[in-house]
Structure 1
């Protein structure tokens, strides 16, 4: 006998139960991942079964929906909110799946006229510009605060109403109208929270794209102009070709085992460890005493510690031409000082 498939109600209750258990498990635990995947797959089964059974139709109104089926309108929203709790390398993909589920949820509510005027206007704004959707202006702080306060008060009012309806539904004598009102109020609350999630998804997607572009731009881009053109025989237009090849870490040995460039075998780890606390500037290679001794040896410093001065050049009395030049230079200087007495050029302070 073939095993009977679980009903939509049992799948829905099972998914909600597994999602509630996630709140009591550490997200870093392997059990969390298993429970998360099980809850997500159960919600997916609910979605498939809803489509196969054709529970909802675009030709119906909200009054035509069976009371027991109203709660299944929230499956797309619940699965989207579950995916938003997952983080990993495929975060961008999860955000796209969640946004698609939230839009499907809102479109179905809109087809049954279960969206308020404000939420219907927000849905139009989202579908017009999905990549830049925001609940409020990002430049006007006062407007953003006003929208945030208004939506908070509306959400608080819906939660209060929902609690009262749940307390009333817990009684034994509950009528169908109260149950329908309970489900519709829950859907209205989910709709408000859907737009907040869409706003968050847009912001996080922009951050992820920006981080991805920055990580790609941080890698160096090779340019043939940097390396110069080289032929197959090894010729290069760069004058420092051989040096650049060594700097890039070319081969040390040829195929025959001959060294192609000088190298030293060192312990790289020890070398790096020794250089951790070294100063950033070049240290002197000799002491001051060694420098003074070297200067004395070269004759730059006398025995008394001062710099050695060159002895004055004695005039050559036998060189008549040199003596005439010195005489003419002295006469020219005397004529210049007689024609230009001291202070004659300073006319600024004269009355």
Structure 2
């Protein structure tokens, strides 16, 4: 960007772009530092838009030829803001809905301004912009009523158009005249306009994705009332002060499996290995657990681990004390000695008549 642009705007856009590139190259989008970086970038782009408006860089009475080459990149400010806003992490469904609608307003501002300068001209983008204005949150690049073949063809066409725009932009940027100090102004201007065309394409794809996400979030269960969460936290603190176990749903199990499918038998083997499947829930926070339970058929926990083991102990399904020692036969008790002898002979005869593996006839034709 040359020296024609105001110094404060150039410094601000450089800082915002640097922050955006760092966010896009980050591989840890769940950390607190990532959320802070996104918030900082949103603040920078918001400030940039305010200063662009205050400086009156763009006017509805102008054409694209009236815009200085150094000012063309400022047209992308609302588009960049929308992109960064969508990256905000750690939100509940209702907060995410509000954030997506904020991003949508930024995309609208970008497309309206670009269209005012005649940069959304020609198919398919002129028709897409018309449909976007008419359909609002129902907008999709390929209408939902289209048949599968039409949807597939639409996705392929969009992918090819994106590849052509990206390739054109890369070819222009690799031109030696563009890399020269100061650059060829005509070529630099063409690069900026190609970049704007690429962002127009990306904006429509982002609006398509954004609208589909809004539709999914609208079907998500409502969050628990804040008052309920505060009460639960207070009760847990009181239980901890009294040395009792908090009523934490993350430390609970589903109902005993045999009570649901008729399965009976011991819970553990003699060696202490589990004989029946059960699910242990991890120690995630309640808010993370709530956000994750948006799928049908989820079995909510119904009893704690201690309650589960107590129920199994009451039913006699837990063997305590390990393997019981075999009773020692009194040598003077001839009847008991005879019973043990006959029992050993019967077992030997059974093993002779039934070799190991003789009862397994599966997969043998």
In structure 2, the residue matched to 1:142 is 149
In structure 1, the residue matched to 2:197 is 188
In structure 1, the residue matched to 2:347 is none
The verdict on how the C-alpha distance between 1:186 and 1:270 changes in structure 2, with shifts beyond 3 A counting, is closer
The verdict on how the C-alpha distance between 1:6 and 1:126 changes in structure 2, with shifts beyond 3 A counting, is same
Deviation at 1:172, TM superposition (A): 3.7
The verdict on how the C-alpha distance between 1:269 and 1:72 changes in structure 2, with shifts beyond 3 A counting, is closer
- 8 Å CA contact 1:67, 1:180 repeated in 2: yes
- 8 Å CA contact 2:78, 2:106 repeated in 1: yes
Deviation at 1:276, TM superposition (A): 4.8
Alignment of 1:152 onto 2:159: yes
Measure the CA separation in 2 of the matches of 1:125 and 1:172. Answer: 43
In structure 2, the residue matched to 1:44 is 46
In structure 2, the residue matched to 1:20 is 21
* Structure number with higher relative contact order (C-alpha < 8 Å, ≥ 6 residues apart): 2
Q: Which runs of 5+ in 2 are unaligned?
A: 1-5, 226-303, 316-365
Deviations 1:303-350 (A, max 9, x none): xxxxxxxxxxxxxxxxxxxxxxxxxxxxxxxxxxxxxxxxxxxxxxxx
- 8 Å CA contact 1:25, 1:32 repeated in 2: no
In structure 1, the residue matched to 2:219 is 210
TM-score by length of structure 1 reads: 0.60
Deviation at 1:124, TM superposition (A): 1.2
Measure the CA separation in 2 of the matches of 1:179 and 1:106. Answer: 22
Map 1:199-348 to 2 at 5 A.
Answer: 199-212=208-221, 270-276=306-312
Deviations 1:207-246 (A, max 9, x none): 0011136999xxxxxxxxxxxxxxxxxxxxxxxxxxxxxx
TM-score by length of structure 2 reads: 0.58
The verdict on how the C-alpha distance between 1:101 and 1:277 changes in structure 2, with shifts beyond 3 A counting, is farther
Classify the secondary structure of the residue corresponding to 1:129: helix
In structure 2, the residue matched to 1:109 is 114
Measure the CA separation in 2 of the matches of 1:199 and 1:278. Answer: 57
Q: Which runs of 5+ in 1 are unaligned?
A: 217-267, 280-351
Classify the secondary structure of the residue corresponding to 2:30: coil
Measure the CA separation in 2 of the matches of 1:154 and 1:124. Answer: 19
Please tell me whether Structure 1 or Structure 2 has the larger radius of gyration of its CA atoms.
1
Measure the CA separation in 2 of the matches of 1:57 and 1:202. Answer: 30
Alignment of 1:67 onto 2:74: no
The verdict on how the C-alpha distance between 1:214 and 1:39 changes in structure 2, with shifts beyond 3 A counting, is closer
- 8 Å CA contact 2:132, 2:139 repeated in 1: yes
Classify the secondary structure of the residue corresponding to 2:59: coil
The verdict on how the C-alpha distance between 1:173 and 1:51 changes in structure 2, with shifts beyond 3 A counting, is closer
Alignment of 1:130 onto 2:131: no
Deviation at 1:271, TM superposition (A): 4.5
